[in-house]
Amino acid sequence: MKCIAYVSKAPVRDHSVRMPTGLSEIISASREHNPKSQITGIISYREGQYFQILEGPHLEVDKLMAKIAADPRHEDIWVFLNVRVAQRSFSNWGVNVFDFVDQGPLFDAFVEKNSPTLNNFDDYQKKRIKPFIDIEKSDTVPDEYYQDKNLRLLAWPDLNNESNPQMIMNLCIKLTKKPYPFNFLADSGEFGTPQQVTQIVREFERSGILSVTEAEPLVEKVVSEKKPNKFYGAIKKFLGMR
């Protein structure tokens, strides 16, 4: 799959004001077309600009983006993200018209995952995207985010780009077979301090190769008390053993 994110300007109308002409049609078409094409994400409008995130199969996302690029309802399109992903950030399609994009955990995680790209924006780019993402003030996933969660790798990173490939490979082996508790990784000391482990795990998630799930609660096994065998009990009684 791939993910494309962009902002575009609504065309200038009367009195030099940018108005979202045709916004209702855009939303209706998105709600009808995107689920059929297995495309998820969000769309928002604020301060004369559209903000949209598209996730789904490569071909479908590229086809939709080509339509948007040729749509006269969009001007000055800036695609600030175009990456391969192994896991979706959004499970369905959402619309937020005249307010900020929902600052919920899914959106926060999306911003954190793509923070290396966002943090490289120049002042003009930061100002343009600020109605939707205030990069300088946006909350990042805290260090405690992975506590009590299970981690599993969906794919391996490129070990040629790692400074300590042997250690990263050992970590990948642990996270490949089955979901592995983050707490065990952080407490083991095998992969550095808890902060260093958190940083490595963040990079995995930003690359779209990590699945993070809630740890299942431990269920204590109740050992049932064995009932005495009647036959042997009778023998013991006969022999005077009890």
pLDDT, tens digit, for every residue of 79-110?
999 999 988 888 877 665 544 455 567 787 88
Q: What is the pLDDT of residues 186-208, one digit of tens each?
A: 898 898 888 888 888 888 887 77
Q: CA nearest 97: which of 170, 22, 152, 167?
A: 22
Running DSSP on this structure, what letter comes out for residue 160? G
User: What are the structure tokens assigned to 188, written together?
Assistant: 């083991």
- Is residue 237 predicted with pLDDT exceeding 60? yes
- Is residue 125 predicted with pLDDT exceeding 90? yes
pTM: predicted TM-score of the whole model, two decimal places: 0.55
- N-to-C CA span, the chain: 73
- Is residue 139 predicted with pLDDT exceeding 50? no
Of 9-18, 60-69, 132-141, 220-229, where does mean pLDDT reach its minimum?
Answer: 220-229
Q: How far apart are CA 152 and CA 210, in angstroms?
A: 6
- Among residues of the chain, what percentage have pLDDT more than 70? 77
- Is residue 216 predicted with pLDDT exceeding 80? no
User: Helices marked H in the chain — which ranges?
Assistant: 23-36, 58-69, 105-113, 115-118, 123-129, 165-177, 182-188, 194-206, 230-238
pLDDT, position 54: 93
What b-and-e string marks burial along 53-85, b requiring 16 or more CB atoms within 10 Å of the CB? bbbbeeebbeebbeebeeeeebeeeeebeeeee
Task: List 43's β-bridge partners, or say none.
Answer: 52, 95
- Band (140; pLDDT cuts 50, 70, 90): low
